Amino acid sequence: MIRVILRRILISIPVLIGISLVVFFLIKLQPGDPLVGMISPETTPEQKQEMLRQAGYLDPVGIQYLRWASRAIFGDFGYSLHSGAPVLTLINERVLNTLLLAGTSLFITLLIALPLGIYLGLRRGSYADISVSLLSFIIVSIPVFFIAILLVKVFAMNLHWFPVSGVSTLGSNNSGIDRLIDVAKHLVLPAMALAVGNIAIFSRYLRSSISELTRQNFIKALFAKGMKRSGVIFPHLLKNAAKPLITVVGMEIPALLSSTLLTEIIFNWPGIGRLSFDAIQARDYPLLMGVVLFLAVITLAINIIADILYALADPRVRLTP
């Protein structure tokens, strides 16, 4: 197991270096300079050039990358051009909100998709299977932002069940259980907007795995011996169906994090997605590069965790040289 973990970490290092190169040079290819909109129109070209020189913006691109990457290794992504605060500080202030949103969405997804996928997999070809399959294809084809807007229209504006924006009620001084309830109310709609599409995806994958496994001879033999359905589903079907599901979850979590961008904008949720949107609008390049690299590290970490879980579920992976 230690060998599997070390191998995955070593593979992730060149991937992370490649991502940092792509992010840095794509940002550098943007037209203009980072001081646009931040200096007085009365500033002379000579003064502007001196400011750029002091900021290191006129150094060779290779030198700029090495300087930025060497600091980023130790968590120093520089300073925001807009607020002047350290980039890592701004990220730390928002990352918990994004993880809360993504984690809640994933919990809702698994809570609904697992029993639904098992039910449909055991009843392949039934009316329920055909109906849910058709509905799943329709849901997957709908963009996340449209689902978010629809939820806002129905549950916030028409029914007034949930608040429409923010992480808590503006001006409230709630604490303890009241604070948790207030945050939960604000969390429901954005989490559901992210979960709806993934419920359709995860349930379809699990349904296919369960359906395929029920055709295997060892499962048929267990049923032929008179074993109860619960005794077959949990120790045998789910154990084998969990392997492809782990892979799918590992691939969908990075997509889930990227989907939070539009969701956080629509619901004004103060997370990493909203922070990156603000950085783009303000042409705050150090903040934008820091956010992208930070999300890349999280994505690689999630992939490593998914590989470890897969190795735990399938011992054959651990024996692979």
- pLDDT by residue (tens digit) across 189-220? 999 988 998 888 888 888 887 877 777 666 66
- Residue 319: pLDDT over 70: no
- Residue 292: pLDDT over 60: yes
Mean pLDDT over 176-193 rounds to: 85
Task: Check residue 122 and give its pLDDT.
Answer: 79
- Residue 269: pLDDT over 60: yes
Mean pLDDT over 102-112 rounds to: 90
- In angstroms, what CA-CA distances link 88 with 27, 49, 77, 141, 281? 18, 28, 6, 36, 19
Task: Check residue 306 and give its pLDDT.
Answer: 76
Task: Check residue 228 and give its pLDDT.
Answer: 63
- Residue 118: pLDDT over 70: yes
- CB-CB contact of 279 with 291 (8 Å): yes
Please give the Cα distance from 183 to 96 (Å, whole number).
13
Please give the Cα distance from 92 to 34 (Å, whole number).
23
pLDDT greater at residue 234 or residue 262: 262
Task: Check residue 35 and give its pLDDT.
Answer: 61
Nearest residue to 272 via CA among 300, 252, 292, 299? 292
- Residue 52: pLDDT over 60: yes
- Residues ≥6 apart with Cβ < 8 Å to 16: 296, 297, 300
Task: Check residue 222 and give its pLDDT.
Answer: 65
Task: Check residue 136 and give its pLDDT.
Answer: 85
User: Is residue 209 classed as helix, strand or coil in its secondary structure?
Assistant: helix
- Residue 33: pLDDT over 70: no
- Residue 178: pLDDT over 60: yes
Confidence of residue 314 (pLDDT cuts 50, 70, 90): low
- Residues ≥6 apart with Cβ < 8 Å to 305: 250
DSSP 52-87: HHHTTTTS-HHHHHHHHHHHHTTT---B-TTT-SBH
- Residue 225: pLDDT over 70: no
Task: Check residue 167 and give its pLDDT.
Answer: 78
Please give the Cα distance from 70 to 36 (Å, whole number).
26
Please give the Cα distance from 237 to 23 (Å, whole number).
43
3-state helix, strand, coil in the chain (%, to 5): 75, 0, 25
For the chain, the average pLDDT equals 80
Protein fold of 95-264: MetI-like fold (1.10.3720)
Task: Check residue 236 and give its pLDDT.
Answer: 62
Please give the Cα distance from 107 to 312 (Å, whole number).
21
Task: Check residue 232 and give its pLDDT.
Answer: 62
- CB-CB contact of 233 with 144 (8 Å): no
Degrees, nearest 5: CA angle 285-97-274:
35
For the ranges 26-40, 77-91, 156-170, the lowest mean pLDDT is seen at: 26-40
For the ranges 41-55, 142-156, 178-192, 202-216, the lowest mean pLDDT is seen at: 41-55
- CB-CB contact of 81 with 75 (8 Å): no
pLDDT greater at residue 310 or residue 66: 66
Burial class (CB in 10 A: 0-12, 13-18, 19+), 62: exposed
- In angstroms, what CA-CA distances link 80 with 28, 85, 207, 268, 272? 16, 6, 47, 21, 14
Structure tokens at 264: 């956080």
pLDDT greater at residue 241 or residue 108: 108
Task: Check residue 126 and give its pLDDT.
Answer: 82
Mean pLDDT over 229-245 rounds to: 65
pLDDT greater at residue 192 or residue 221: 192
Long-range contacts of the stretch 301-306 (C-beta < 8 A, 24+): 302/250, 302/253, 302/254, 303/8, 303/12, 303/250, 303/254, 304/5, 304/8, 304/9, 304/12, 305/250, 306/246, 306/247, 306/249, 306/250, 306/251
